[in-house]
Amino acid sequence: MRVVQIIVVMPKAQDADSIRRILMKSGYANVFACSSGAKAVSLMHEFADGILISGYRMADMMYSDVRADMPDGFQMLLLASRDALSGRQQRGMVCLAMPLKVHELLDTLQMMTRGILRTRKKANAGSKGRSDEERALISGAKELLMTRNHMTEEEAHRYLQKCSMDNGTNLVETAQMVLAMNL
């Protein structure tokens, strides 16, 4: 499993460090603690994504100011009193009421971590395109099917997809088999 960066920013440095230690003991590897919003923003901009655990008010700014400067790949976990949390729920932000229960913190972080890893996986899957050679193989197989079997391009493509699923091979391997059988 890839590591998710966690930044803890609390008004008191000892509170941020206590949470950092709890997370480190629970198996989280990259956990950073600070007591200023400016430092938290600076740390977030060093990473593509992660989780920011934030108190309601730091010495230099409010959680909302930190959130305004938060990169898109980050999610915020806001820790505050029940009164401060009322009406604060926003997209990309999760709230936990203080006093904090360790198991609630860990369960919430696990859920948020899974979400970030799922987002990464989707992004990586979307970026994996076919090489020019693979596209040429698939096009060649479709052209052969279109010529020999009088199919449209869409029909040829669907035929390759169906054969690929039926045989448990990927589309490129199926295209190679079609071309090899007709040499």
CATH number of residue 173's parent domain:
1.10.10.10
pLDDT at 1 over 50: no
**Residue 40 sits in the same domain as residue 82:** yes
**97 plus 152 within the same structural domain:** no
DSSP secondary structure letter of residue 98: S
With respect to residue 108, please indicate whether it lies within any of the assigned structural domains: yes
Residue 38 is encoded by which pair of tokens?
């400016």
Contacts 24+ apart (CB under 8 A), 55-63: 55/9, 55/10, 55/11, 55/15, 55/79, 55/80, 56/80, 56/81, 56/84, 57/11, 58/9, 58/10, 58/11, 59/11, 59/35, 60/36, 61/36, 61/37, 62/37, 63/37
Question: What integer pLDDT is reported at residue 72 of this predicted model?
Answer: 87
Q: In which domain, by residue range, is 149 found?
A: 132-181
Listed range (72-76, 130-134, 171-175, 176-180) with the worst mean pLDDT: 130-134
pLDDT band at 181 (very low <50, low <70, confident <90, very high): confident
Examine the fold and report which residue of 112, 127, 142 is the final residue of a domain before the chain moves on. Answer: 127
Backbone φ/ψ region at 97: left (φ over 0), alpha (ψ -120 to 50), beta: beta
139/119 same-domain check: no
Once rounded to an integer, what is the mean pLDDT over residues 58-81? Answer: 92
Q: Quick check: 92 pLDDT over 70?
A: no
Is residue 1 domain-resident?
A: no
Mean of the pLDDT values across residues 75-80?
A: 93
- What pLDDT sits at residue 170? 87
Number of domains into which the chain is organized? 2
- Domain with residue 111: its CATH number is 3.40.50.2300
* Residue 65 falls inside a structural domain: yes
> Do 85 and 22 lie in a common domain?
yes
Residues 69 and 84 in one domain: yes
Tens digits of per-residue pLDDT, 125-161? 654 578 888 899 999 999 999 999 998 999 999 999 9
Q: What is the DSSP string of 161-174?
A: HHHHHHHT--HHHH
